[in-house]
Amino acid sequence: MKTMQLELPEKMAGEIDELVHDGWFQNKNEVLRAAVAEFIQRHRFELIEKFQRDDIAWATGQKGAAGK
């Protein structure tokens, strides 16, 4: 697994602590992994479409620049 560092507002950090304290999650890392996984799942198609549009924009820009 890769380790990442994250800064959160105090209120959000407190809410994460509460989730762990109340037994919803075993630790803070588990909360954050679940949150990121949920975000990716909800936005997967949106993100893929954005990457494809960016790629097409880059390719058409490169094609236009090569023909000059």
Sign of the C-alpha dihedral, residues 5, 8, 12, 35? negative
User: Quick check: pTM over 0.75?
Assistant: no
What's the pLDDT tens digit per position in 19-44? 999 999 999 999 999 999 999 898 88
Q: What are the counts of helices (DSSP H) followed by strands (DSSP E) for the chain?
A: 2, 0
The whole-chain average pLDDT of the chain stands at 89
